[in-house]
Chain A
Amino acid sequence: MTTARPPGHEEARPYVRPRDRWWFARRRSLAVFVLRELTSVLVAWTVAYLLLLLGAVADGTTERFAALAARPWMVALNVLALAATAFHAVTFLNLAPKATVVRLDGWRVPAWMIQGGNHTAWLAVSALLAYLVLRSS
């Protein structure tokens, strides 16, 4: 089925709204979305930071790295990174059931179960990593 708009129908011009530069400030949900996406910048930073650490370990310059890490601005940045990565983790794991709908014999596994599993996995992995890093010290 196609729409018929016979040629020669002069039409008063419809109004097209100009691009709204501040679209993300119009609704809370959009602001939260943009914050969620911007966590990626700090995810990238966190990776960079860990690469610096790995470099220091490889070069045997961990002392210098520790000194750098203790600078107040660096600590502030990492506190921000912690908040961002945690926010990323919570939002990402909570949204996962949208992409992975699990059906068992026609019964749809409710979102909260999948989310609960994800968060349990997060806790377990975090605990394991912390144990590996801290066990001898």
Chain B
Amino acid sequence: MAAETIRLDVARYRPEEDAEPVLQSYEVPLRPDWAVLDGLAHIKDHLDGTLSFRWSCRMGICGSCGMDVDGEPRLTCGTFLAEYGAGPVRIEPLKGFPVIRDLVVDIDGFLAKLSSVRPWLVREGEEPPLTAEYAQTPAQLDAYKQYSMCINCMLCYSACPVYVLDPDFLGPAAIALAQRYNLDSRDMDDRFDVLNLEEAVWGCTFVGDCTRVCPKHVDPAEAIQRYKVTAALRSVLPWSGR
């Protein structure tokens, strides 16, 4: 049986020598259970050790290996080569982020955004002793659970034309994370000051692609639209703050 192969066209960018990324082609074995990430690992291990990319858990939970695969932002560990028939498959760094090297993008801006929404439980008063938990019913847990599933893979940013055109836009994952805490029955904040901004929820034009590409079904688009309602009501009815 002749071993089947598939061509991967991989974006290379070496800042010391390249002015802009160029595609480099590699032939890798096409195996039914190989993900795109396995193809990249094969290149790094056996064909070209100079290829740089991030990966870790290869089970879709660490959020490292998001890349642009044939024009779509995907987690490469969960995207199978067999999806692409005879190939070739074009693999590029996530769009919308500065490229540090090859398939590695700069995510510091994203982290700054996450930090800016106060993504922690905001409580008033003293923390009670560590003898009992705050009560939370399954229904109250359900109210925010979906928004707590974000793995920070940033596919939603890459899919969002608003973010790609305007890097200052707070973006889907950060707003969903803010909502994860806003809707938590134990939280006492509504993060109005950081969300009720033109670069925050009001920048969103509800394209909806963030939700479409989210591998964890977080539905950031929903989180944003819901906050628009919250913020609008709070603006019209100033006494309606929580």
A-side residues, CB < 8 A to B, are: 1-3, 12-17, 19-20, 23-24, 26-27, 29-30, 33, 37, 95, 98-101, 103, 105-108
Contact = CB atoms under 8 A, between A and B. Distances in A.
25 contacts: A1-B115, A3-B108, A12-B16, A12-B101, A13-B15, A15-B20, A15-B99, A16-B99, A23-B164, A24-B161, A27-B72, A27-B209, A29-B208, A33-B207, A33-B208, A95-B208, A98-B221, A98-B226, A99-B225, A99-B226, A100-B226, A101-B222, A101-B226, A106-B137, A106-B138
A2 B111 CA distance: 9
Contacts of B137: 106
A30 B206 contact: no
Interface string B68-99: 00011000000000000000000000011011
Interface residues of B, number: 41
Nearest to B108: A3
A107 B143 CA distance: 9
Given A19-B165, A101-B222, A33 B209 contact: yes
Contacts of A20: 164
Contact of A15 (B13, B72, B225): B13
Nearest to B98: A14
Contact of B209 (A15, A29, A37, A106): A29
Contacts, number: 78
Contacts of A3: 108, 111-112
Contacts of A99: 222, 225-226, 228-229
A77 B127 CA distance: 65
A20 B92 CA distance: 15
A19 B99 CA distance: 14
A107 B138 CA distance: 11
A16 to B, nearest CB: 5
Interface in B215-230: 219, 221-222, 225-226, 228-229
A103 B146 CA distance: 14
B150 to A, nearest CB: 17
Nearest to B21: A15
B142 interface: yes
Contacts of A16: 98-99
B205 A27 contact: no
Contacts of B209: 27, 29-30, 33
